């Protein structure tokens, strides 16, 4: 019985450690995180913009935007992919269809910092779909 309880405690501790890992994410970690969750981008003027990264490589901003983000939420979709441990995306119209790539860093269980290839950065959070 003690052995079973010890194994369970070890597994629970391991699960908590991996869920709360901090640091730059690998391509596989990015893929798993963004397809299992809705990504809410923090906006500069307050609020959050929901992003849905579908397993088939489609991305859209469907869902309820929070705060001021609801006034400039795009009605667009695009595609996403992983390249060199970066999340890349290209919208049909938003950002004039420009390709862009981001590194993602976990800073908490569900908190991310993104850094775009043009030097811009910001925060995001993950929430289950």
Q: Could you tell me the residue ranges of all domains in the chain?
A: 22-128
DSSP result, the chain:
-HHHHHHHHHHHHHHHHHHT--EEPPHHHHHHHHHHEEEEEEPTTS-EEEEEE-TTSEEE--S--BGGGGGS----EEEEEEETTEEEEEESSGGGG--EEEEEEESSSSEEEEEETTS-EEEEEEEE-
Indicate yes or no: pTM above 0.85: no
pLDDT at 122: 95
Mind listing the pLDDT tens digit for each residue in 16-58?
A: 334 456 889 999 999 999 999 999 999 887 889 899 999 999 9
| CATH code for residues 22-128 | 2.40.128
pLDDT at 84: 96
- Please answer whether residues 30 and 37 qualify as being in contact, where contact means their C-beta atoms are separated by less than 8 angstroms: no
Is it the case that residue 64 has pLDDT exceeding 70?
yes
Distance of CA 86 to the CA centre of its chain: 11
pLDDT at 103: 97
Q: What's the chain's average pLDDT?
A: 82
């Amino acid at each position: 019985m003690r052995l079973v309880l010890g194994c369970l405690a070890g597994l629970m501790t391991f699960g908590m450690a991996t869920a709360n890992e901090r640091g730059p994410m690998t391509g596989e970690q990015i893929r798993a995180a963004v397809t299992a969750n809705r990504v809410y981008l923090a906006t500069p003027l307050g609020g959050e913009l929901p992003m849905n990264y579908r397993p088939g490589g489609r991305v859209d901003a469907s869902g309820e935007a929070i705060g001021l983000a609801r006034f400039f939420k795009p009605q667009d979709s695009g595609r996403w992919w992983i390249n060199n441990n970066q999340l890349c995306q290209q919208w049909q119209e938003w950002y004039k269809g420009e390709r862009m790539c981001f590194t993602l860093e976990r800073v908490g269980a569900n908190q991310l910092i993104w850094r775009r290839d043009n030097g811009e950065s910001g925060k995001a959070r993950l929430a289950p779909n």
